[in-house]
Structure 1
């Protein structure tokens, strides 16, 4: 009898916690990463999984920033050195490999790709980031470069729209 009562109480507590989780807005909406010292934000809705680097099979006749392909959870993914793609460092130059991670793009965006980033910096919420006014530039910004944000410490963050990146012609054209 006592076991039935304890089970009912447990079920009630679980139901209350699940309801509270549904009603509570998601605190984190950004995955914060760093590439060649530049702080970037990926939307959690557009990024999928984070992997420690695995063996990458080089593919001939591709852009230098296209490192090759890797098996991530049974799926074949193109691996892109994101810092090299952005022009933040020369292709082939690697940072601290012990901190590098692969961030796969959400499969709903119809591209099997993982971005090699230098460092994960955690999760960020919108309440932690303030919009920054765009600074006029002589060169146009690519479509995947979203808004700039600033955190409480004054660090600037570049939002990267992974959906726009997945349709960006130079990103899709990896064959040289």
Structure 2
């Protein structure tokens, strides 16, 4: 690319918008391919919340962001951590561990590993879950399903327990939707 000034290329707002548009189009194509793929449900997002490993359906999970500043909301449940501004949108943040009656998930996980996993916009609830750690993609098709009194679990090749978490079912729970005291 001889003769092109990189500094002026980066400063050109029209070129930046074009590159952003191309990137967004590529992302949209990947998401649509994942939705139409027969194995879309096999790939799950692995997160650790409190001391429990959960698998989230990729179609129900939104963004994964570092924990931003949270604004407490008075007279709300202890598991409702407050509001966060994520890309200009107000998102309610829930400590799922505390919601489920477990010890609260530490927002200050080792080496800043804590993240907010937002719910997909299709679920219609502007909410994020505090995750102690995001483990990454897991292939549920390669895991062994085990019956458990608290709900079915999946065991991976390393012998680790994973609990499937249906976010669409979570947002239909009356108690989850009633954050006020």
**Do these two structures clear the TM 0.5 threshold for a shared fold by scoring above it?**
yes
Moved over 2 A (4+): 20-28
How far 1:23 moved relative to its partner?
7.3
2:109 pairs with 1:96: yes
Unaligned runs of 5+ in 1: 1-17, 136-140
Q: Say whether 1:133 aligns with 2:161.
A: no
Displacement of 1:170: 1.0
| Displacement of 1:28 | 5.8
Paired with 1:69 and 1:174, the residues of 2 have a C-alpha distance of 12
Structure 1 residues 114 and 23: CA distance shift in structure 2, 3 A: closer
**Residue of structure 1 in register with 2:79 after alignment:** 65
Residue 9 (structure 2) aligns with: none
Provide, for residues 71-110 of structure 1, a one-character-per-residue CA deviation record: whole Å limited to 9, x for no partner.
Answer: 111111100112111222048x555161100000011011
Gaps of at least 5 residues in structure 2 are 1-29
- Counterpart among 164, 174, 180 of residue 169 in structure 1: 174
* In structure 2, distance between residues paired with 1:26 and 1:67: 31
Cα distance in structure 2, aligned partners of 1:27 and 1:108: 16
**Is contact 1:103–1:114 with CA below 8 Å preserved after alignment?**
yes
User: By percentage of residues, which structure has more helix?
Assistant: 2
Looking at structure 2, the residues matched to 33 and 110 of structure 1 have their Cα atoms a distance apart, in angstroms, of 22
TM value normalised by structure 2: 0.73
C-alpha displacement at 1:126, in angstroms?
A: 2.3
TM-score (norm 1): 0.75
RMSD, aligned α-carbons: 2.5
